[in-house]
Structure 1
Amino acid sequence: MHDRPNAASDKAVSNMVKTSVLVVGGGPVGLTLAMDLATRGIATTVVETRAAREPPSVKCNHISSRSMEIFRRLGLAQKLRDAGLPADYPNDCSYRTTATGIELSRILIPCRRDRYTATGGPDTGWPTAEPPHRINQIYMEPVLFAHAAAIDGLQILNRTAFEAFSEVEEGIVATVRNLDTGAAFQIHADFIVGCDGARSLVRKAIDANLQGTPIIQRVQSTYICAPALLGLMDRPAWMTLSLNPRRCGTVVAIDGREKWLIHNHLNREDETFESVDRDASIRAILGVGPDFEYEILSKEDWFGRRLVADRFRKGRAFICGDAAHLWMPYAGYGMNAGIADATNLAWLLAAYLQGWANIAILDAYEAERLPITEQVSRFAMEMAGKVLSQRRTVPDAIEQPGPEGDAVRKQVGQAAYDLNVQQYCCAGLNFGYFYDRSPIIAYDGAEHPGFTMANFTPSSTPGCRLPFAKLPDGRPVYDALGPGYTLLRYDPDVAVASLADAMRTKGVPFAVVDVPGDQAQPPGGRKLILARTDQHVAWRGDAIPGDPAPLVSKLIGRAHQLASASA
């Protein structure tokens, strides 16, 4: 997926590769973490078992708005927007009796050509400069790889398998193996991060255990090439969901022409994957006869789960993404939650490795991310239960012609729309979550506003996402955030020099951005809001504390270390 030679073959067994952070796994989560670290000047090495340019499986189909904000900061947003489905292909979600049958309802989502300009409908008006983007992982990942390969200080070792690691006084030593030569060699790093998926070896190495519900749904997934299918659809969509008494399933447009991913949601009475006729199920979902031709490109049988690790860290080892949490892919938030993990951890690691934060700042990763992934997974599980119930109760009359069938279809279509619009247009899940138990956030006693999958209340309460706004020059406020902490000043008469001096004395990257008085203040009405590089509010007030040193100590983890030592 990139032109850089496989450095693993150049490092003999007797040599040790040295790096600051070793990332195990070169999927979207691992690459995001590596890029974020490298752009902050942290030497990073990624080990990935696949060969360069070897495509991933057709799994993830959606980049959330919050993830697109991260990719904007990394210089990737437009590159990703330019990839995926044809520019004018409808990104809608269509509920039908079959993929080629009667439409029951449709959730309108702008095509990528209109993503920045569309108004009206449930998936526009997002409080961000980067709305969501529908793209399959087979198109997304090569963009990430190519971008990552061009970053100085970032090394990707393809065809290299992680085997084990041990923690030593000055860092970790990992054993990896070149899969082409069979040669094992070692990598010495300050930290190791497992982004190595559901079967994570790093998770097992740190004795983290997945807890929750191991099986919620069984799914047969089949990636097919069917050139004639698009012509049988009177109104194509990015995602077509079939609801009929025989087989309920989901058909995802991959290239907008001939390639499709079909999820067959097994019925309760289906005893095993093997007992279900894959071909018959596909035809029932598509609504086609035995003469319809298609080619199976790949297939996978999998379980929908709700599992969250009981720890995300042990010493100098961390886990992110599917290594840390697995749940049903409702609201498209599996990969996207992992990307949020990655950007949270990246700036914390960089803060310590650059020398301006105490090592105790790293405690914030698990304190912040574990509660969020637990909460998000429960959102997904609740949605899964409702969707499964809907699929299991499709009326027999849904395909019946005439007024009775029309009435049934109207009722089922409206119910499908009302239930699912919240997961396909999930502003609350993107923007509503907050960190309420972080050791490096200065809370002020204000209650964090609640959120649902679909809705949230913007807030400047410490721990919340900094509310979206545009600066006078038209830039989104997030574009003005620096690599450490940025103070937004809504009243130019408020003195901030004492905080600036205290920050710079500790070497903390710090900037002040004046927001003119005619700009709308974020909810909360404070004159000063201190934002972190990851867009979360760290502190707010109407004046700098008389002695800003305790605040700075908290922000860089020093206060947490002292409190832990005295406990």
Structure 2
Amino acid sequence: MTSSQAATALEADVIIVGAGPVGLTLAMDLASRGVRVLIAETREYAQPPSVKCNHVSARTMEQFRRLGVAQKLRDAGLPEDYPNDVVFRTRMTGTELTRIPIPSRRERYTRTDGPDGWWPTPEPPHRINQIYLEPILLEHTAALPGVTLLNRTQVTEFTQDKHGVQAQALDLDGGATRTLRARYLVGCDGGSSGVRKAMGARLEGTPVIQRVQSTYIRAPELGARVAGQPAWCCYAVNPDRCGTVFAIDGHSTWLVHNHLNAEEPEFDSVDRDRAIRDILGVGEDFHYEVISKEDWVGRRLVATRFREGRVFIAGDAAHLWVPYAGYGMNAGIADALNLSWLLGACIQGWGSPAMLDAYEAERQPITEQVSNFAMDHAQKMIRARRAVPPDIEAEGAQGEALRAEVGREAYDLNVQQFCCAGLNFGYYYAGSPLITHEAEAPPPYTMGDFTPSTVPGCRAPHLWLADGRSLYDAFGPGYTLLRCDASVPVGALVDAAEAAGMPLAVVDLADARDALPEAYTHALTLCRADQHVAWRGARLPTDAQALVARLCGRAARMPEPIPSEACAAG
């Protein structure tokens, strides 16, 4: 629900500072666990967001499926038949160099060809701009029971003790101050996060990798000037000005990124209009309207801490990096979903506060990995832009050969960021108190590639069940035990979980519709709510209660896995 300001104190289980995609997703997931949430947001209700994120990853869409909002998002954004391709041209209206095919949303579930058509997931990625994404998340979240949204409200300070957090909130319209109380507080308040600063955490890393002069424009006649099939994203490659153009509504609005060079240190170093025309490949007679300026700085910064007692940060408040592979917002949503089930376990009473130690132990190292992937790709793109041949637009056989070579190089370099299976499915958690440590290491991954695995810490590989559901549709709100061999007894674990109040679902995979992925090498694979494997074995450990205690954060060591000599029968 929405609420105007009042003089009385408000209480909840969790205070969320910020109602962007990360804060809203956190609220949705907490609400699904019966957790009462207060969201403090400085903007007015339904105030349009800026034109930032353009991509929702498969991992995020998998969770939006669970939260009941995936189809609403699929139905929004570009027209249903608009290709989500990434194309490289000399200029947007110039000669095509190469194309990375990505299905339109109408074909997203049915097409299996192309560099991301093979992905093992019930929910492929979705190209949708934040101006369409965020209002859907907001409307969905505001209607949930247990969620109170306070707009035009700024959290100015907070204190905490062993029982909870007390925050002071300022009404930005009326000037009144009210008190908010909760057991926990999470800052999802962006790169300039006041919560992070109040925690005493700092952003460390590379403050400037590249500046991008970004402009949101209305140009209804632009599409007609583009030869060939349209595309969601167009890279312009020419010696005058390299840039990127994103289709926003598929008709008349576009976001134009002008990638500044190192010798252009300020956003006003380059004539904006001239740069836009060079990227689009249009003359002075072409009319467009500037809707807004969206200039941004590419960075690689990670917070020194993600937590201080009962206070946490997530999303841009915790990390900022060049948004290659679309993993800015999506990494923030992954933070939120990692934290949410841990908070839910503690608030519901079956989880020990020690479970919360897993959040920083898991997400901070992943943030370092992903941000370095993005920074490495950014450096390669910077070099590629500086190496554009001056005669790339030349006519004749020599020009055609040159364009073909540049096209091949552009495809090979960029297919991994736009079809980034590794970043979606390959990352794993190591060094976590809620993950078994095995001699077998998780398989390495790149931005584009990964090896499915059930090594603890990895994402449980997907498959379709006999009843047509996705494996993840069968996951419970706490832990889920996947049993490849129905003859292996699991009653001791079920009983121990029930005694501890720990939610545990048991899913038999022996009659799955798909062939069981080779990665399921053990008869038993125990998964967490966020789809990551916590433990596996050929049979239960001798002391099932000790395993449950560990899963609930109440024991110092996870039982060792039992080898899988019996799993071949499953």
TM-score category, normalised to shorter length:
over 0.9
The answer on whether the counterparts of 2:466 and 2:511 sit within 8 Å (CA) in structure 1 is: no
1:16 to 2:9 alignment: yes
The Cα offsets for residues 300-348 of structure 1, whole Å up to 9 and x where unpaired, read as: 3221000011110000000000000000010000000000000000000
Any idea what SS the aligned residue of 1:558 has?
Answer: coil
8 A Cα contact 2:212 2:295, kept in partner: yes
Paired residue total: 555
Asked if 2 retains the 8 angstrom alpha-carbon contact of 1:442 and 1:551, the reply is no
Give a deviation string over 1:191-229, Cα, whole Å, max 9, x none.
000000000000001111111100000111100001110
3-state SS in 2 of match to 1:291: coil
Question: In structure 1, how many angstroms separate the alpha carbons of the residues matched to 2:112 and 2:350?
Answer: 44
- 1: CA distance between counterparts of 2:288 and 2:517? 56
Aligned AA (2:256) = I
1:320 and 1:338 in contact (8 A); partners too:
yes
Which one-letter code corresponds to 1:292 in the other structure?
A: F
Two-structure CA RMSD over aligned residues (Å): 1.2
Aligned counterpart for 2:359 among listed residues 359, 362, 365: 365
Q: Is the 8 A contact 2:550 2:557 kept in 1?
A: no
Contact 1:86 1:256 in 2 (8 A): yes
Alignment partner of 1:550 is 2:546:
yes
| 2:84 is aligned with 1:91 | yes
- Tell me if the contact between 1:47 and 1:162 (Cα under 8 Å) persists in the aligned partners: yes
Distance 1:155 1:271 in 2: 43
Does the C-alpha gap of structure 1 residues 119 and 561 become closer, same or farther in structure 2, counting only changes over 3 Å? closer
Residues 393-408 of structure 1 mapped to structure 2, 5 A cutoff: 393-408=387-402
Q: Partners in 1 of 2:83 and 2:551 — Cα distance?
A: 45
Q: Which amino acid aligns with 1:55?
A: P
Structure 2: give runs of 5+ residues left out of the alignment. Answer: 559-570
Q: 2:526 aligns with which of 523, 530, 535?
A: 530
Confirm whether residue 169 of structure 1 aligns to residue 165 of structure 2.
no
Equivalent AA in structure 2 for residue 17 of structure 1? L
**Residue 144 of structure 1: aligned partner:** 137
1:134 aligned to 127, 140, 147, which one?
127
- Give the equivalent residue in structure 2 for 1:356: 350
Q: If the length of structure 2 is used for normalisation, what is the TM-score?
A: 0.96
CA contact (8 A) 1:308 1:373 kept: yes
Q: Partners in 1 of 2:260 and 2:520 — Cα distance?
A: 48
Deviation at 1:168, TM superposition (A): 2.6
- Alignment of 1:236 with 2:230, yes or no, is yes
Name the SS of the counterpart of 1:378 in structure 2.
Answer: helix
State the 1:521 CA deviation.
4.7
Q: Is the 8 A contact 1:441 1:554 kept in 2?
A: no
1:137-536 pair list within 5 angstroms: 137-234=130-227, 235-516=229-510, 519-536=515-532
2:563 alignment counterpart? none
**Matched residue SS, 1:367:** helix
Match in the other structure for 1:565: none
Q: Deviations over 1:97-139 (max 9, x none)?
A: 1110111101000000000001211121110000000000000
8 Å CA contact 1:213, 1:307 repeated in 2: yes
Q: CA deviation at 1:273?
A: 1.7
Aligned equivalents of 2:366, 2:330: Cα separation in 1 = 13
Contact kept? 2:465, 2:511, Cα under 8 Å: no
Displacement of 1:8 after TM fit? Answer: 3.7
SS at the partner of 1:397? coil
Q: TM-score, normalised by structure 1?
A: 0.96
CA offset digits 1:133-188 (Å, max 9, x no partner)? 00000000011011101110011111111211111332011111111111111100
SS at match of 2:294: strand
The range that moved more, 514-523 or 94-103, is 514-523
Q: CA separation in 2, counterparts of 1:405 and 1:162?
A: 59
Kept after mapping to 1: 8 A contact 2:51/2:294: no
Query: Equivalents in 2 of 1:268, 1:345: separation in Å?
Result: 38
Aligned-pair identity (%)? 59
Counterpart Cα distance in 2 of 1:341 and 1:270: 34
Kindly report structure 1 stretches of 4+ aligned residues shifted beyond 6 Å.
none
| Distance in 2, Cα, partners of 1:276 & 1:252 | 20
Equivalent residue number for residue 54 of structure 2: 61
Q: Which of 44, 47, 53 is residue 40 of structure 2 equivalent to? A: 47
| Counterpart-to-counterpart distance in 2, 1:504 and 1:460 | 25
Tell me the alpha carbon deviations over residues 390-424 of structure 1, each in whole angstroms, 9 at most, x when there is no partner. 01110001011111111110111110001000000
3-state SS of 1:388 partner: helix
Match of 1:541 among 532, 537, 544: 537
Q: Please give the alpha-carbon distance, in whole angstroms, between the structure 1 residues aligned to 2:412 and 2:397.
A: 23
Could you say what secondary structure the match of 1:100 adopts? coil
Shifted more, 161-170 versus 103-112: the winner is: 161-170
- With 87-96 and 552-561 compared, the bigger mean Cα shift is at 552-561
For 1:31 and 1:273, how far apart are their aligned partners in 2? 31
CA distance in 1, matches of 2:22, 2:214: 22
Q: Which residue of 1 aligns with 2:562?
A: none
Distance 1:242 1:39 in 2: 44
Deviations 1:428-459 (A, max 9, x none): 11000000111011223211100000100000
| In structure 1, distance between residues paired with 2:211 and 2:84 | 26
2:522 maps to a residue whose letter is: R
User: Post-superposition shift, 1:490?
Assistant: 1.2
d(CA) in 1 for partners of 2:437 and 2:41?
40
Distance 1:271 1:346 in 2: 40
Distance (Å, rounded) in 2 between the aligned partners of 1:272 and 1:43: 45
2:166 and 2:182 in contact (8 A); partners too: yes
SS of equivalent to 2:295: strand
In structure 1, what is the Cα distance between the partners aligned to 2:463 and 2:427? 18
Give 1:360 shift. 0.4
Q: Tell whether the 8 Å contact from 1:440 to 1:560 is kept in structure 2 after alignment.
A: no
